[in-house]
Structure 1
Amino acid sequence: MATPAEQLPPGWAAEWLTWNATETATGRTQWEPPAPQGGVAPYADNAPTGSPPPAHHHAKRRQYAAGQTQAYYGGGGEAILDPGYLAGQADSTWGSAALYAWQTHAAPGVAQPQYYAPTTEPEYINQPGYGQQQPATYGQPVDNLANQFGGMGIAGQKGFQLYTTNLLTSPPDPRDLQIPPPEIRLPPNSCISPSPTANSDPSYQRCTLNAIPTASSLLGKAKIPLALILTPYRSLKEGDEPVPVITDTVIARCRRCRTYINPYVQFIDGGNRWRCCMCNMTNEVPQLFDWDQVRNQPGDRWARAELNHSVVEFVAPTEYMVRPPQPAVYIFLIDVSNTAVQSGMVATATRTIKENLDRIPDEDGRTKVAIICFDTSLYFFSLPQGTTEASMLVVSDIDDVFLPKPNDLLVNLAEARESMENLLDKIGNMFQENSIIGSALGPALQAGFKLMSPIGGKIMVLSSSLPSAGAGGLLQAAVPFYKTFAIECSRAQVSVDMFLFSSAYQDVATLACLPHYTSGQTYYYPAFNAGRAEDAIKFAHEFGEVLAMPIMLEAVMRVRASRGLRMSSFHGNFFVRSTDLLAMPAVPLDQSYAIEIQIEETINTPFVVFQTAVLHTTCYGERRIRVVTMALPTTSSLSEVFASADQVAIATFFANKAVERSLTHKLEDARDLVQKSLIDILIAYKTSMTSGGAGASAQLAISENLKMLPVLTLGLLKNVGVRQSTQIPPDLRAYAQALLTSLPSQLLIPYLYPTFYSLHNMPPEAGEIGEHGVILPPPLPLTSERLERHGLYLIEDGQTMFLWVGRDAVPQLVADVFDLPSYDALRGGKTTLRKIREMRRGPYYPHLYIVKEDGEPPLRLWALSALIQDRADVLPSYQQFISTLKEKVSST
């Protein structure tokens, strides 16, 4: 049998020997690989993306008449169109869309949904049979928790009520997407804490099933995939509870499976020992566990955060480090070819960097930055100390990239602030007359890598054309450079973000490999032209938000689960370093991951636990471990399996599987896989949960909690990333696929099933502050049947917003919203309206298009394509889709 050192990845043996000596001295018997060179760290800091406006009391809103001939009435003052904060679902999970409300005085107030914000980060440890993932559960109110303790027995007791619905007679109701997933009902005494935050909120971690089948055969009967959807570093909005940070470096872990102590362990032997909830191993309680180091006196064990919160963050002691925490490093690779300069990208990018220098995380004053420009040559900038002027060094030999100077290229941001501002002011003028057409992106990446590889960090690429010169040129097919380079970056703790701007083909599919394998993100701005204010504003906003985002550096993530469960496959932006260890050089906020789970042996426990751990360095130089713990009951009842299914998590998983299949097979295979998966669930439900009575043939049955899954699946099949069409440009499809595999559920669900609001006849209370935040107008089903000729409507999917104006819109409505005298004076197309705000997490700033009912046909068709319940080209309507499903289910 191989020794632990022999099982490590190449090059880690020496590190393991150092670690092993430490572990042996402390009496530990289990080994785990050390952090990769450079340590590990995802970022867990809060990334405020703007505070909501203060709440106001509003005068009565105007109600526009049902026809042009009716009187237009309302209160005094100017009515405005205001995208207010959309507070989202009543259960404190995810927000939804932008709310447009007009009112006579002040903008609608904004109330933030409440989220439990646990903090935890995983560490890397490869323990066969125990490295597993955790599902997400809600933070339950105290009264729910009391009910849980009192009413829920062991597996099989009546916890989940199954209600059947007939899809043929129950059209989709968008409000059902705001309902929380089925409640997690744990057995009594499974949790040692009465805290409502003892189980993880779905915004951090959720499972496709909130009751885990005790056997794989039972899971096979249900045909529902078992998977975790993780967003361990979701952003915190105003009002969110911060993730508790445990600073005393007392970290209790199971000796065998390395699980972190959590609210689901048991204390035994008078509290001197604890039993692991994963593997049942008995462990000693650390001596300082009950000691308050701040006050230097005995502490209250039951007040410790790790026993009361599902998400916590430990400040890691030195044994969790291979080297001291490294500073945050940002290298900007800016395309300065003729195309990039003429589009205004260079001027917009440099101005945005300059305006956001204060927002780049640098609390400890250690952050380093560098700028490298490129066309078919490389342009380095030396910023020596003691001067405010930069000198440019040109490297035209791109076949053998070298750094023209050993130092002063990568500089301390605080110390070289004035020099950096001066350089950013001048870059636009330096290349204003550049006539060179071509891109040496590959050599530029190699140069950036050479500059930062000793430390690690983030490379931000801004590219306006297809790479054509040197390594990584994409003028020929099947270039392996980017995938190979991405793996090198992952090893050196280097992450890459891509900002792509080309008006011609840019091969987004190939370039997106770099962010995919290095835990970065891809942003795409087709046909970018800074001469259009809307284009410049969108890019500047998103780029600025990314610059301001706290990043977690040198991160590794592992998911553990109770005995009998195994993580089988992983989806998302990372590199799988070993069987279940995910390497993420720099983790961005609000990036999502999906992990499939296999049931390997019969589960005999009344509940199971999943625990995600992320070992990382914060961008402020502190080594931490974020831990997210989730407990779910087990069941041997097929009806409980169906009743516990989370349709949002399943749809998120389907999106990841579809993209994976499209890359390994064909797009048609991806669509077939998704549709077959849905049909299998419907057949399983019909076979097991419905009787074969006289009315059975007249229905398409599914459990009530899954009734939106068919329309979400249809939305996925009609999404640009998967849709059957020869008209979709490859770059747009590739970008959509990047979104499908990285967006958290809060952003992904509206991307699949856009939000549709009627704005001309909203209820009077719309925009007011209610019990659960801003009161929204009722969302409409996505069908053009709801469009009225005198109406005004908002359709948005988080990436694009359409404001649909009916041809008979009341003139005063047009005047209030657009400050124009009539519908005829209104121009369709891309625009910006005042008081537009983003309501969801993430940096995205959707483009807004005004769509006139009798306006440009391409724009009208694009907007109408978001109404996915309608038929479009060869794509079926929802009713046709349901009829097809019924035929396939009935023929089985």
Structure 2
Amino acid sequence: MSKRRAYPQPQYASTPQAPVAPLQPGVPAYGVPPVIPGVQSPPVQQPGVNANYYQPDQLASQFQGMNVGDAQAPAAQAPAVNGQYQYGNYQQPGANQPYQPQTGGYNAPGAAYGAPATGFSAGTAYGASTSTPSLPLNELYSTDLIRELPPSISDLSLPPPPIIIPPNATVVPDSDSANASPDFLRCTLNVVPTTNSLLKKSKLPLALVVRPYTALHDSEEDVAVSVDTVISRCRRCRAYINPFITLADQGRRWRCNLCNLLNDIPMGFTFDELTNTSKNFYDRPELNYAVTEFVAPKEYLARSPPPCVYCFLIDVSADAVNSGLTATVTRTILESLDRIPNTNKTSRVAFIGVDSSLHYFKFAEGTDGVEMLIVSDIDDPFLPYPDSLLVNLEENRPAIEKLLLDFPGYFEGTANTGLALGPALKSGHKMISSIGGKVIAFAASLPNIGEGKLSVRDEEQSGKPKESQTLLSVADKFYKAFAVECNSAQVTVDLFLTSSKYQDVATLSNLPRYTAGQTHFYRAWSAATAEDVTKFSKEVSEHLSMEIALEAVLRVRSSSGVRGSAFFGNFFNRSSDLCSFPTYPRDQSYVIEVSIEETITKPLVFFQAAVLHSTHFGERRIRVINLALPTSSKLDDVYASADQLAIVNYFTQKAVEKAFSHSLQDARDLLIKSLVDIVSVYKKELVAGNISGSSPLQVSTNLRMLPLLLFSLTKHIGLRAEKVPADYRAIALNNLATLPVHHLIKYIYPSVYSLHDMPDGCGLPEQVTQINEETGEEETVSSTNILLPEAINDSKTSWENYGLYLIDNTTELFLWVSGDVVPGLVHDLFGTENLYTIPFGKTQLPEFSFEESEFNYRVRQIIGKLREQKDQITWKNLYVVVGGSSHEPMEITTQRDLMALRMWATSCLVEDKTGSDQAYREFLNTLKGKVSQ
């Protein structure tokens, strides 16, 4: 019998409430421009149009009768394509024109690479002349932060302000793929100040957010590859040829867009010696695409590309065996053997069991025999039979499978409580250091014996001024020193920690931090909980399947007068601008602070990130990412093009650094002071006439989420003032420092979805319109994408006491069932009408078919969609939270657990007042007072 039912509107869905400031026809959807006495109001946009930016249909009338060099001309922008803003441009008269492809081909008379276009001055790069007319940039709009409450969180899903560059800035005319997508490379400012004094005056940071890999697997990325091993680089700055170079000497040479040096174009660019055929110069991927991967010639090889190597350190102490960690790890590795990157059948593996001794496993070549060798001398551990411990995965598959099946039985019933993690790490390093690779350690307790031994620290210091020095500092210098040693030997350390007791995550996380690895922490993990096993197994399996770049280095080059000055993320800074990654992970991003060392005289600044690496299938490659940004000497241009999400990423890194080096209070003060400075500059320099204490609290519309995000960051578990378990604090700081931008924003400001009143299509495949190839007619079909509800504000003030809400904070999902929920809703979702028979806490929803319960099916589809991540290994556990009501027939212990769960879930509602922390409205009033001082 179908469980579908219709719910009465008054009972099941909240009555729509009028917004605080209703939008009127013709008012911009992206922010209401305030009326400021004495200041001309910006042009009114149509509803639903982003008021930050000019739209194409406005441009015709705007440009009529206007000189294109006029500084007052509006910023041109092309329409969105596939949901992404295209960088709008217009043609400047008299500007240098790029080369046009020639019809004569390679052997055309008189030109090796095609003759220049008529009227082009060969050899003159774009921007070489300072008399080039300035390009109109993004318009500046203001937002009154207090008036526009609640904040418009839909802004969090908007792309950055458009990057406006002239169409003749690229060697291939009108290229719409020459500038990097913000997924790969984004800047905090999409207009670069021309002087360092202007940058300092703005109080805005200039930094790059770099993420060369945007998916765990190559098959899910769309990156152009140049396979002919012909690579052209600038002789002076070593930049790679890219879409923003200019041609000279009748196409025989190219001028570097970073340092302006002329370089020869290799013959192989237009002629394939293998096939003896000509190639079109303008078809080369490096001249058309912002992100290109080169297959490198042998000159880039210091040695043959190494195989993928995995050395597993598995805790076999009593804590690990009793919690089920040992058995779960070995079973997960066994089930994931086919997912380990092994295209060339060269991947190698090794296994070490760790308690108070080291247990090695020797493989007999050509058989399925495995012998366990125990070394109890942990002060000076050695490798017995070093040639038989690290073995080829493919050639020894039967023996490896047998070992993983039998592994838990070797240690069943053990009473050994020691964990010699430090000696085990040194042994793993010794085993693979000649090749490089990954050491993946699984631990269920605190390392308590041998080198690197740790002890329990005083948790009473949590929330106190000296917490950073007593709980977040490195307890043993071994971990930093050993991490640097690993990095130099091309060895990455990854940690999976599962202790229910103190494990000193703050100290242990230094191993991945300096070796480009990652720390994964599972609170009170137990194999007796099915959800714990599911999460752990899925994440370990995804981690093993992740395609990694071996022996990688990252260098970011930039135009003359601009350089990287500080670097943030999990890697080792080998020199002033070279970041070293033994294995380059695909689930992290990095921030590079940029300084302006001399006045910029050209209208464009260029950045180029390059990752030199070896692939898991044995090729040496270079992934190159290019970004061009306009420059301006005007403060309003800089503010109008600031990227608020990238700025939050930068300040997050600075706050984490401050938390470790000074104190948590200093980290919070840094965030608030930075925000006060930005809003103060905007008030004094960009909002004419509003300098009195009674003036509105204003900021540019494209930055209006910045106060909310920085405020939310001060309340995050990693930085909040209240007492927090040390390991929880340390792993939160680790996540803040490594998460890519879109995950970081959700980690700081969780997404909340109202499920009881969601539209009918939510939780079902999205309907799209396409053309039938046979009939040529439009038809509506279901896509593979599940439609999600619109996110609502992180505040309980808009919640209904009969509602159902889903909270996604990047690491967990909370399903909040209000205490006065409709019984029919409970029945459809859980199969029971008794609210207090619902299993709360970490659980899974019962599975009903679409015919049995459409609502249950749709909610599970939404949860499944939120768990899908092509760029992260995280599997989000679901916690069911039953809200309070007047009747709670529960035991005292159960009530205590439920109260703790409620507090954890409601801590995600960062706009509300929690404990001693302010609500967002109160914070804005405080901010206004600070700005008015």
Relative to the length of structure 2, the TM-score reads 0.80
Residue 192 of structure 1: aligned partner:
171
1:760 aligns with 2:756: yes
Residue 839 of structure 1: aligned partner:
868
Residue 495 of structure 2: aligned partner:
498
Q: Secondary structure at the match of 1:458?
A: strand
Query: Aligned partners of 1:317 and 1:199: how far apart in 2?
Result: 26
What amino acid is aligned across from residue 8 of structure 2 in structure 1?
Answer: A
Q: How much has 1:344 moved relative to structure 2?
A: 0.7
Gaps of at least 5 residues in structure 1 are 1-58, 72-90, 92-136
Change (3 A) 1:238 1:263: closer
Alignment of 1:205-220 (within 5 A): 205-220=185-200
* One of 654, 678, 690 as aligned partner of 2:675: 678
Change (3 A) 1:645 1:548: same
* One of 871, 877, 883 as aligned partner of 1:853: 883
Residue 911 of structure 2: aligned partner:
869
1:169 aligns with 2:147: yes
Residue 705 of structure 2: aligned partner:
708
Query: Aligned partners of 1:810 and 1:155: how far apart in 2?
Result: 65
Q: CA RMSD in A?
A: 2.5
* One of 807, 816, 819 as aligned partner of 1:795: 807
Query: Aligned partners of 2:498 and 2:731: how far apart in 1?
Result: 12
Residue 792 of structure 2: aligned partner:
780
Change (3 A) 1:878 1:239: farther
Query: Aligned partners of 1:299 and 1:149: how far apart in 2?
Result: 30
Residue by residue over 1:424-474, the C-alpha shift from the partner in whole angstroms, topping out at 9 and shown as x without a partner, is 011111111111012100000011001000000000000111111111101
Query: Aligned partners of 1:228 and 1:502: how far apart in 2?
Result: 36
Q: How much has 1:389 moved relative to structure 2?
A: 2.0
Query: Aligned partners of 1:287 and 1:63: how far apart in 2?
Result: 71
Query: Aligned partners of 1:141 and 1:757: how far apart in 2?
Result: 27
* One of 619, 642, 647 as aligned partner of 2:644: 647
Query: Aligned partners of 1:198 and 1:157: how far apart in 2?
Result: 18
Q: How much has 1:413 moved relative to structure 2?
A: 0.2
* One of 229, 232, 240 as aligned partner of 1:252: 232
Q: Secondary structure at the match of 1:274?
A: strand
Change (3 A) 1:268 1:545: same
Q: How much has 1:332 moved relative to structure 2?
A: 0.3
1:878 aligns with 2:920: yes
8 Å CA contact retained: 1:140, 1:196: no
Residue 728 of structure 2: aligned partner:
732
Query: Aligned partners of 2:10 and 2:501: how far apart in 1?
Result: 45
Q: How much has 1:149 moved relative to structure 2?
A: 3.7
Q: Secondary structure at the match of 2:539?
A: helix
- Using CA pairs under 8 Å that are at least 6 residues apart, name the structure with larger relative contact order, 1 or 2: 1
What amino acid is aligned across from residue 371 of structure 2 in structure 1?
Answer: S
What amino acid is aligned across from residue 766 of structure 1 in structure 2?
Answer: C
What amino acid is aligned across from residue 187 of structure 1 in structure 2?
Answer: P
Q: How much has 1:884 moved relative to structure 2?
A: 1.1
Question: What percent of counterpart residues are identical?
Answer: 48
Greater mean alpha carbon deviation, residues 481-490 or residues 822-831: 822-831
Q: Secondary structure at the match of 2:337?
A: coil
8 Å CA contact retained: 1:401, 1:443: yes
Q: Secondary structure at the match of 1:698?
A: coil
Residue 300 of structure 2: aligned partner:
320
Q: Secondary structure at the match of 1:860?
A: helix
* One of 476, 484, 488 as aligned partner of 1:487: 484
Residue 775 of structure 2: aligned partner:
none
Q: How much has 1:714 moved relative to structure 2?
A: 1.3
Query: Aligned partners of 1:139 and 1:577: how far apart in 2?
Result: 43
8 Å CA contact retained: 2:441, 2:494: yes
Alignment of 1:286-297 (within 5 A): 286-292=266-272, 295-297=275-277
Q: Secondary structure at the match of 1:499?
A: strand
8 Å CA contact retained: 1:592, 1:744: yes
* One of 586, 596, 609 as aligned partner of 1:612: 609
Change (3 A) 1:288 1:60: farther
Residue 262 of structure 1: aligned partner:
242
8 Å CA contact retained: 1:68, 1:808: no
1:392 aligns with 2:375: no
Change (3 A) 1:724 1:393: same
Change (3 A) 1:807 1:267: same
Alignment of 1:510-589 (within 5 A): 510-589=507-586
8 Å CA contact retained: 2:216, 2:586: no
8 Å CA contact retained: 1:683, 1:889: yes
Relative to the length of structure 1, the TM-score reads 0.83
Residue 138 of structure 2: aligned partner:
160
Change (3 A) 1:751 1:694: closer
Q: Secondary structure at the match of 1:267?
A: strand
What amino acid is aligned across from residue 372 of structure 2 in structure 1?
Answer: M
1:65 aligns with 2:8: yes
Change (3 A) 1:754 1:461: same
Q: How much has 1:70 moved relative to structure 2?
A: 9.7
Q: How much has 1:516 moved relative to structure 2?
A: 0.3
Q: Secondary structure at the match of 2:712?
A: helix
Query: Aligned partners of 1:147 and 1:220: how far apart in 2?
Result: 29
Residue by residue over 1:197-227, the C-alpha shift from the partner in whole angstroms, topping out at 9 and shown as x without a partner, is 2110111111000011111111111100000
Residue by residue over 1:814-852, the C-alpha shift from the partner in whole angstroms, topping out at 9 and shown as x without a partner, is 122222233232121111235542233300011210000
Q: How much has 1:241 moved relative to structure 2?
A: 5.3
1:631 aligns with 2:628: yes
Residue 14 of structure 1: aligned partner:
none
8 Å CA contact retained: 2:336, 2:541: yes
Residue by residue over 1:656-713, the C-alpha shift from the partner in whole angstroms, topping out at 9 and shown as x without a partner, is 1100011111111111111111111001100111122598723111000000011110
Query: Aligned partners of 1:67 and 1:145: how far apart in 2?
Result: 44
What amino acid is aligned across from residue 805 of structure 2 in structure 1?
Answer: Y
Query: Aligned partners of 2:7 and 2:451: how far apart in 1?
Result: 61
8 Å CA contact retained: 1:63, 1:761: no
Q: Secondary structure at the match of 1:189?
A: helix
8 Å CA contact retained: 2:354, 2:420: yes
Q: Secondary structure at the match of 2:338?
A: coil
1:339 aligns with 2:319: yes
Query: Aligned partners of 1:885 and 1:204: how far apart in 2?
Result: 34
Q: Secondary structure at the match of 1:349?
A: helix
1:150 aligns with 2:91: yes
Residue 739 of structure 2: aligned partner:
743
Q: Secondary structure at the match of 1:731?
A: helix
Query: Aligned partners of 2:796 and 2:249: how far apart in 1?
Result: 67
Change (3 A) 1:144 1:748: closer
Residue 129 of structure 2: aligned partner:
none
* One of 216, 225, 228 as aligned partner of 2:205: 225
Change (3 A) 1:63 1:313: farther
Query: Aligned partners of 2:658 and 2:557: how far apart in 1?
Result: 26
Q: Secondary structure at the match of 1:313?
A: strand
8 Å CA contact retained: 2:78, 2:88: no
Residue by residue over 1:720-769, the C-alpha shift from the partner in whole angstroms, topping out at 9 and shown as x without a partner, is 1111112x111111100110011001210100000001001012232442
Tell me how many residue pairs correspond in the alignment. Answer: 769
Q: How much has 1:187 moved relative to structure 2?
A: 2.6
Q: How much has 1:410 moved relative to structure 2?
A: 0.3
Alignment of 1:382-461 (within 5 A): 382-461=362-441
8 Å CA contact retained: 1:139, 1:201: no
Query: Aligned partners of 2:378 and 2:829: how far apart in 1?
Result: 54
Residue by residue over 1:619-667, the C-alpha shift from the partner in whole angstroms, topping out at 9 and shown as x without a partner, is 1111101111111111111101000000000011111110001111111
Residue 17 of structure 2: aligned partner:
none
Q: How much has 1:243 moved relative to structure 2?
A: 1.0
Residue 104 of structure 1: aligned partner:
none
